[in-house]
Amino acid sequence: MTSNFPRPRVVEMEVKGRTERIIEADTFLRILQQMHTDIYALAGRGNSGPVLGGPLNMGNVVKGTNSATPADDEFLTYAKAKAYFDPSVMQLALSMKGKYKLSIQGLPGRSADPQVPLVEEYNPNLSGYYQAGTLVSQGGSLQVVQQGSPGQVLVPVRAVGLVTYGTRAAMPAAAIAGSEYYATDMGWCYYSTGAAWAFEAGLAFLTEAERLAYVPDDADDRAAAVVIDTASLWQVESGAWVMKLGFPAANGAVVKHGRITTGSIPASSSAAVTVSWPTAFGDTNYSVSADVVDSATDLNALRVHHVESIAVGSVTVRVANDDGANPRTGILHVKATHD
């Protein structure tokens, strides 16, 4: 006898760690339809026994719709079920496509337990128990345990956050004691005493023009700078630059030089020759050396007799002509060094 029932299509699926053999829904539905078997739902129980809710429309149950003619894409096939509800798919969907943040409020277990603070409150009764270098909290401030004499002592942690930075001119007013500021244009780091900034570390690399353009103040005391074009080392003392090593720049604030023609000086006579400095000194506290260049090959030549006067912007030198027969002309060279 040949069976008219469709041959069931059996698939295998992993269920809770074991392999189950399952008949596909569409095959199972056709078998039920050909058997003309009705399946009833149990609606409840009465005095006379079970109350049936009527035969179920298996096509609608399997297809998941109340429509008499459901669309084909409503049919839950094995492939569609695996694509939508396989554990690996569900895990990915739940981990990546959540709409709301996960909240553990009210959940039992370790996640909901009160959290232990990372830094424990210091207990003076346990003095000697803490290892040196341990961070503890006391009175709302962070402290570090250090060995004292006798016993242990607590020292406030000075660092209060990340180092702020910017140009030296943009350095804000000192505020929280222990905070730090890095001047990016100078390479200097400062720390706050709470009332003022104080230089901490760093070395600037400047040209002489940059050094002269920067006016230091008391916050820069002990700060140092290498002046590249003069190969010199400078340090700030009492809010002012002081050269520590090397040679000052020519025609800078410390050293100046100049040269000028003497003009024609009559025989056996002299002339006052004035040389103006490229930039003026701050005052007249400087020393001058002078010499004159003459093409004479004997003693009948020009010579520097003496320095007549010194001003902040110039110097005047008396040049004598030792040639008793001829006027002479030369080049006067002067150099000055400030105290």
Q: Predicted confidence band at 64 (pLDDT cuts at 50, 70, 90)?
A: very low
Q: How confident is the model over 111-130, as pLDDT tens digits?
A: 545 555 566 777 777 766 77
Q: How confident is the model over 194-249, as pLDDT tens digits?
A: 889 999 999 999 998 999 999 999 999 999 999 988 788 999 999 999 988 876 55
Percent of the chain with pLDDT over 90: 36
- Cβ atoms within 10 Å of 334's Cβ, excluding its own: 24
Contact between 317 and 297 (Cβ < 8 Å): no
- For the cut 80, the answer to whether the pLDDT of residue 91 exceeds it is no
In CATH, which of 2.40.110.10, 2.60.40.2080, 3.30.70.1020, 3.40.50.2300 is domain 255-338?
A: 2.60.40.2080
- Cβ atoms within 10 Å of 27's Cβ, excluding its own: 15
What is the C-alpha separation between 24 and 187, in angstroms, rounded?
Answer: 76
**DSSP of 177-193, one letter per residue?**
TT-EEEETTTTEEEEE-
Entry pTM: 0.36
Exposed, middle or buried by CB within 10 Å (0-12, 13-18, 19+), for 216? Answer: buried
Q: How confident is the model over 148-198, as pLDDT tens digits?
A: 656 677 766 655 455 788 899 988 888 677 778 899 999 999 988 888 999
Between 312 and 58, the more confident residue is 312
Contacts for 125 with CB less than 8 Å, ≥ 6 apart = none
- For the cut 60, the answer to whether the pLDDT of residue 62 exceeds it is no
pLDDT at 27: 61
**What is the domain partition of the chain in residue ranges?**
10-95, 167-245, 255-338
